[in-house]
Amino acid sequence: MSFDLVLFGGTGDLAWRKLMPALFQAFRHGSLPEGGRIIGVARDELTDDQYRELIGSRFGAVEGAKRPSPEEFKRFASLLDYLRMDLSQPKDYERLAHKLRERSAERVVMYLATAPSLFTQTAQQIAAAGLNGPNTRLVLEKPLGHDLASNRAINRAVAEVLEERQIFRIDHYLGKPSVQNLFAMRFGNALFEPLWRREYIASIEITIAEEVGVEKRGSFYDQTGALRDMVQNHALQLLCAVAMEPPINAHADALRDEKLKVLRALKPWTPETLGLHAVRGQYTAGTAYGERVAGYREEPGIDPASRTETFVALRAEIANWRWAGVPFYIRTGKRLASRDARIEVNFRPTPHAIFRAPAGFANKLVINLQPKDGLELHLVAQSQSQRVSTQAGVRGGMAPLAPVQLNLDFDQRFGSERVGAYERLLLDVIEGRLNLFVRSDEQEEAWRWVEPLLEAWQTDNGPRPYAAGTWGPSASSAMIARDGNAWSEEQ
């Protein structure tokens, strides 16, 4: 199956850090369909060979096992072409159309790894050049808009030139193997689903923590912030994966219908909950990687008076039969104590204790997303080597119970067979599989839920400071403590 993948923003950060390494891994694994061509598009004046040299030099920053040998890269580079384009110039789209029609590939993928402000114009110009035929797929990177109105404008503009089945709104968290295993765990096994409800689950925590600061993305990030960059898309998609009802089948719209129901069931914000259940912060100077690092306002490209949040913690509730009364805690931030993404499902304590368990213990399921990838089931058990105690206060002479874990490490179990998030998603686009992509109504509903936060934060006192290398402002701990709970590192 022949395909052309046109990578708008082909010299940008996302292209060389994520997309090209993912395409190379698919090429190395033999899963990239034969007869493919990858066309980098940007404003730089480069020849095909210069573009290949540029991408080759960037592969030096890829982690060792994923780095190509010179011979491997030579073969991969034969797939790479380059086209200089100014995305505001219609004649440049005509040149792209001519280049694509030379081959008439069976499938054409247009990947917009550009600023969201260019999405509408680029989609319209693609159509004006006649490149919106039935074999075209358009990939849109997040954030898709700056608020609900801009998101709707982009969706309307794209829908005018392409059908929904041709539009792939990417959220790379949905391509992570651990998230795929979350769906498999819930809907492929009979073990958890009967317990996956308010009668058995006390709370759910979703954490996406980063050690790094804004790095080279300062100008972009200062206009975006953690709520837009991480919560509106990644965190809410994880919440949907945890909370959705079983779909009728594994088809794309069946999955997306159930995710949409969760987003519509999220309790709307009120003036009271905005004050109690939403915390935002901004990192100040501190220690990361054992070294002193600058505060957010001292980073390159950041306004010295910036009110942009680098940390968000929220308490959400889902108003439906399954989840009524169960708090969902979401937090994400930069320059936190460690790089860690996980979902923790905290079960209710046993209804009648006949053993002496550790104080405050309850069963917990931890779904590790990164850097670890796997499942941990936290239980209590009795050590057989321990002598049975007959001390007073130990019921029936039974020895106390101790915490134990059942630990499934997916990297150890499936290491050589694993497919990275962007590799999986790019192959799905080429094949036309929409299951792991976000539909327009899902996206709009997510924006609708976060918009009251965006509006309230325009006139509040600004984000709370927290030192780099910590777990965020203390108000985050106070928020969850009001329910008698604590974040995992505080337990």
Q: Which of these, 149, 145, 173, lies nearest to 239 by C-alpha position?
A: 173
Report the C-alpha gap between 122 and 8 in whole angstroms. 9
What letter would DSSP give residue 198? T
Distance, CA of 13 to CA of 58 (rounded, Å): 10
User: Known catalytic residues?
Assistant: 234
CB under 8 Å to 78, separation ≥6 — which residues?
none
Distance CA 442, CA 237 (A): 9
| Number of residues in the chain | 491
- Cβ 389 vs Cβ 397: under 8 Å: yes
Cα–Cα distance for residue pair 2/88, rounded to 1 Å: 29
Sheet holding 364-370, edge to edge: 402-409, 374-381, 364-370, 340-347, 201-209, 328-333, 311-316, 278-284, 464-467
Name residue 39's amino acid. I
Q: Residue 116: which residues within 8 A CB-CB, separation 6 or more?
A: 141, 143, 144, 145, 146, 150, 154
User: Which residue bears the tokens 């039969």?
Assistant: 321
Here the tokens at position 331 are 């937090």
Residue type at position 468: A
List strands edge to edge, sheet with 3-8.
80-84, 36-42, 3-8, 107-112, 136-140, 167-169
Q: What is the pLDDT, as a whole number, of residue 350?
A: 87
From the CB of residue 118, how many other CB atoms can be counted at a distance below 10 Å? Answer: 15
Which residue from 279, 360, 366, 365 is spatially nearest to 316, judged by alpha carbons? 279
Extract the tokens encoding 366. 């931890």
Tokens of residue 63, six digits: 């982690």
CA 6 to each of CA 22, 93, 187: distance values in angstroms, whole numbers, following the listed order: 15, 12, 36
Would you call 480 exposed, middle or buried from its count of C-beta atoms within 10 A (0-12, 13-18, 19+)? buried
CA 170 → CA 366, 425, 450, distances in Å?
25, 8, 19
H/E stretch holding 173? none
- How far apart (Å, rounded) are the C-alpha atoms in residues 364 and 34? 45
Q: Who's near 180: CB < 8 A, 6+ residues apart?
A: 424
The CA-to-CA distance between both ends of the chain, in Å, stands at 53
Q: Which pLDDT tens digits describe the chain residue by residue (491 residues)?
A: 799 999 999 998 889 889 999 999 999 999 999 899 999 999 999 999 999 999 999 887 777 777 888 899 999 999 999 999 999 999 999 999 999 999 889 999 999 998 888 899 999 999 999 999 999 999 998 878 899 999 999 999 999 999 999 999 999 889 888 888 888 889 999 988 999 999 999 999 999 999 999 988 888 899 999 999 999 999 999 999 999 999 999 899 999 999 999 999 999 999 999 999 999 999 999 998 888 999 999 999 999 999 999 999 999 999 999 999 999 999 999 999 999 999 999 999 988 878 877 877 889 999 999 888 889 999 988 866 545 544 444 455 567 888 899 998 887 887 655 688 899 999 999 999 999 999 999 999 999 999 999 999 999 999 999 999 999 999 999 999 999 999 999 88
Asked whether the beta carbons of 281 and 464 are under 8 A apart, the reply is yes
Residue among 256, 233, 260, 265 nearest 183 (CA): 256
SS3 call for 191: coil
Residue 407 to residue 83: CA distance in whole angstroms: 49
* Alpha-carbon distance values, 226 to 222, 328, 331 (Å): 9, 18, 10
Q: What DSSP string describes 68-136? A: PPHHHHHHHHTTEEEEE--TT-HHHHHHHHHHHHTTT-SEEEEEE-S-GGGHHHHHHHHHHTT--STTE
